[in-house]
Chain A
Amino acid sequence: MSLDYEIIGITVLWTFLYLYVIIASIDFGAGFFNFYSKLTGDDNIISPIIARYLSPVWETTNVFFVFFFVGIVGFYPDTAYYLGTTLLIPGSLALILMSIRGSYYAFNSNNKESKLSWSALYGITGLLIPASLSVALVISEGGYIEETATGIDLNFTDLILSTYGWSVVFLAIISVLYISSGFLTYYASKAEDKRASDLTRTWFLIWTLPTLVITQFTFLGLRSHNYEHFVSAQNYWYLFGLSLLAMLVAVFLIWKRRNYGTAFIMIMLQYGFAFYGYGISKLPYILYPYININDSVVNENMAFALTAVFVLGLLLLIPSLILLARLFLFDKDYVKGNKKS
């Protein structure tokens, strides 16, 4: 019996990337909103809520990302060569931003009194990280890497002037604000803090329209950049349709101040459908046209070992994550702030 390791690998990795997008968006956006509320003077309303949610989970967020990049090099070692070489500068930039954010979040929440400049550091870097990471997705569409006799080169000028590139960058930033305000609305309403949930609800509604606009823009950008992928995406039009439908339901519920929990699930579905639709239509390429999942998958023994470890690891992780969520997300007393650690 032969298992299709290349399919297993990419499914696992894509799922981790999706989870990272959702969880990191909540995390990054919360940091930004925390900083923003300090500027507007609303921080006494929203900061305690954000802290209660973020403090116990922030380390976990980063692991989803590490999982993704360790996994992709493991399943498809060629990615290390192509993406590693081309991403030296953008990748290092993303790493520096992530380090500043991660450290200053912890520094600020453990310092005697918080500093506005430190809140600014992790608030603003939080928005720039998704933007810099999304460069990897842009490059993966092909066209920016040239293979020469001596090696491979990244065409920086083309990348910087690319409309498609910029639309993905803005999509990343806007999504962070959209997803996190949706989540915070739900979390604040669970804490029965009406003022906080009203505030975050307004933020969410403000970001609805830009989200809709930028997604259309990204599609148009893809059309001019990689027409083949654009055509193949249309074969999965129903996934993108479902995504739009989920978005409409989410916005409707939040606008009507109803079922914030369901609304957030709809937001997750909205991004889920779009993300998997994008991913499936991109196959079989990881990096167009150099890395194709069928001929660059790791040797069979290693693929089997990785898959086995992955299954065993999940058996350990899922119960632990459920425990974490039960203690800090679904424990009503904790969320309300009655149980102070």
Chain B
Amino acid sequence: MDEVLIGRVLTGMTLGFHIIFATIGVGVPIVFMVLEFLGLRKNDAHYLTMARRIAKGYTVTVAVGVVTGTIIGLQLSLIWPDFMRLGGQIIALPLFMETFAFFFEAIFLGIYLYTWDRFKNRWYHWLLNIPIVVGSTLSAVFITTVNSFMNTPAGFDFEGGELLNIDPLAAMFNPSSWVRVFHVVVTAYMTIAFLMGTISAVKLLRSTHQQDKSYHKKGLKVMMSIGVIMAALTILAGDFSAKFLHENQPEKLAAFEWHFETEERADLVLFGILDEETQEVKYELRIPWALSFLADNSFDTEVTGLNDIPEDERPPLIIHYFFDLMVFFGMYGLGVAAVYFIVKFTKRWTKLNEHHRGLLYLYALAGPLSFLAIEAGWFLAEMGRQPWIIRGYMRVSEAVTQADGLGITLIAFAVLYTVLGITCIYVLLRMFKGQSAEADQLKWYGESGNVYKGEGGRLS
């Protein structure tokens, strides 16, 4: 393999692994914020216990998120030193702000996890959620602006290989920032809501603790409610993205859609197999004129085709498959959540219960599939701007390190991620295995639901 490819695989692997934990990091705080709110508002220890159990598991994933985040932060300079030398002139600000946001979150998360019973007024503890949610969401916002800059650079003049007249804010709030930030944040919230819904559904399907049934049913309802809202927003975000790409990165949209000829009334291609030589697509599902409509709400919109893009600036065509997967898996969550509510509100007449086993299996798939949609979406976004590292200014091949040893580094990190991933799952499974939610509730809140007892930080 050549160095550029190893560098790309290594970066892709680190990001692919980090995204899982980063998404958890952005999405979970909002979930326990809502649950703790419901618990205090309704005075229902079920919700409080749920918030606390989720927060407990979250600690473990945060650890992996923090270390993989540190890795990618440094790997940018280790693998792509020339990129950071040039880009560092500009992306320093959002990177710096991301660190602040994360710092802020880390401090309050530490406080949150170890002060469940230290406040007389329990709403004070709830208030700690605010800096956590703000911090975790803002770090996603800032880091997404860095990535947006790489896609749609702005805020400088480029003369003789140097960046001049730099405007840090214009670079940060570059044309694609808003669209991408919105997309990243709502999909993270959605994915985590469905992930938690998956846990509830699985627990209802094969519950070793029968007494937990009503607890998991409550959980499922909350998660489906958050999920359905966020999934609807996700579709809106996807629509914004398509329109944005049409305006600003037509080569990416064209590659998504295997759209070769510039034309009006362009078709939307779903699935299919491409013969790259003849540009012929087989076995596809073709929705006439839909691409034009998607691009600009009018069938008469002319959509740029790949043949009008210089050959050495075209993204790889494989990204169409990622596009299909992202859209399909993204829609799945919305569909399932919709089914949940339809069945729930019509059960008086249909006699079909929203906790029917068949439906539980469907809900259980929503979490994993949403994660696959996130992964597919990032592969799509990142491969879609190849061959550029900073679109229009620096190619990936110009940015890779000249140092020896990239191959061995790749192997070492692959081993590391495998070990961390497996241990993380092992610890999470064991953490909740023999322990029913009712037992935790009794331990923390007693019979009355008003006693608060914690477990001290344990390290043994």
A83–B81 Cα distance when bound, in Å, is 8
A323, B73: Cβ atoms closer than 8 Å: no
Residues of chain A touching chain B, judged by Cβ–Cβ distance below 8 Å, are 34, 43, 47-48, 50-52, 54-60, 62-63, 65-67, 69-71, 73-75, 77-89, 91-92, 95-96, 98-100, 102-114, 150-152, 154, 298-299, 301-302, 305-306, 309-310, 313, 316-317, 320-321, 323-324, 327-328, 337, 339-341
B405 CB contacts on chain A under 8 angstroms: 88-89
- With a cutoff of 8 Å between Cβ atoms, the chain B residues found around residue A154 in the complex are 403
Interface positions of B from 239 to 254, Cβ below 8 Å from A: none
Cβ of B394 < 8 Å from any Cβ of A?
A: no
Q: Is the CB of A110 within 8 A of B402?
A: no
Chain A residues closer than 8 Å to B423, beta-carbon distance: 103-104, 107
Which residues from chain B contact A306 at a C-beta distance below 8 Å? 92-93, 96
- Note all chain B residues with C-beta closer than 8 A to A89: 403, 405, 408-409
Tell me which of A50, A77, A321, A324 contacts B92 (CB under 8 A).
A77
* Chain B 310-348 near chain A by CB (<8 Å), digits 1 or 0: 000000000000000000000000000000000000000
B99-A63 in contact (CB<8A)? yes
A99→B96 contact, CB < 8 A: no
Q: Please tell me if the beta carbons of B403 and A59 are within 8 angstroms of each other in the complex.
A: no
Tally of B interface residues using CB under 8 Å: 84
Q: Which of B59, B66, B116, B406 has the most CB of A within 10 A?
A: B66
- CB atoms of A56 and B457 under 8 A apart: yes
- CB-CB under 8 A from B82, the residues of chain A are 81
Chain A proximity mask over B76-115: 1 for CB below 8 Å, otherwise 0: 1111111011111110110111111011101111110111
**CB-defined contacts of A69 to chain B, threshold 8 Å:** 73-74, 77
Q: Which of B63, B98, B104, B113 touches A341 (beta carbons < 8 Å)?
A: B113
Q: Which segment of B285-293, B374-382, B424-432 sits at the interface? A: B424-432
With A and B bound together, what is the CA distance between A77 and B91 in angstroms?
A: 10
| Contacting pair A301 B424 (CB below 8 A) | no
Contact partners of A86 in chain B: CB under 8 A:
403
Task: Judge whether B107 and A66 touch: CB under 8 Å.
Answer: no
Q: Kindly state whether residue B273 has any CB partner on chain A within 8 Å.
A: no
Task: Kindly identify which residue among A56, A66, A102 contacts B114, using a CB–CB cutoff of 8 Å.
Answer: A56
The 7 closest A-B pairs by CB, nearest first: A55-B457, A74-B92, A77-B88, A51-B459, A106-B63, A80-B84, A84-B81
B390 to A: closest C-beta gap in Å: 13
Instruction: Find residues 100-136 in chain B having any chain A CB closer than 8 Å to their own CB.
Output: 100, 102-104, 106-111, 113-118, 131
Q: Say yes or no for B401: interface residue by CB 8 A criterion.
A: yes
Say yes or no: A102 contacts B63, CB within 8 Å: yes
Report the separation of the CA atoms of residues A49 and B424 in the bound assembly, to the nearest whole angstrom: 25
Contact A317–B459 (Cβ < 8 Å): no
Pick the interface stretch among B40-48, B193-201, B412-420.
B412-420
> Which of A51, A75, A301 is in CB contact (< 8 Å) with B168?
A301
* Smallest CB separation, B125 vs chain A (Å): 11
B456 touches A51 (CB 8 A): yes
Q: In the complex, are the beta carbons of A74 and B96 less than 8 A apart? A: yes
Q: Cβ of B67 < 8 Å from any Cβ of A?
A: yes
Q: Given A48-B456, A103-B63, list of 15 further CB < 8 A pairs?
A: A56-B114, A59-B110, A70-B73, A70-B92, A70-B96, A73-B77, A80-B81, A88-B406, A110-B431, A111-B427, A151-B402, A152-B402, A302-B89, A313-B103, A317-B107
Q: How far is the CB of B118 from chain A (nearest CB, A)?
A: 6
Which residue of B84, B93, B102 is within 8 Å of A77 (Cβ)? Answer: B84
A contact residues around B95 at 8 Å (CB): 70, 73-74
Does any Cβ of A come within 8 Å of B206's Cβ? no
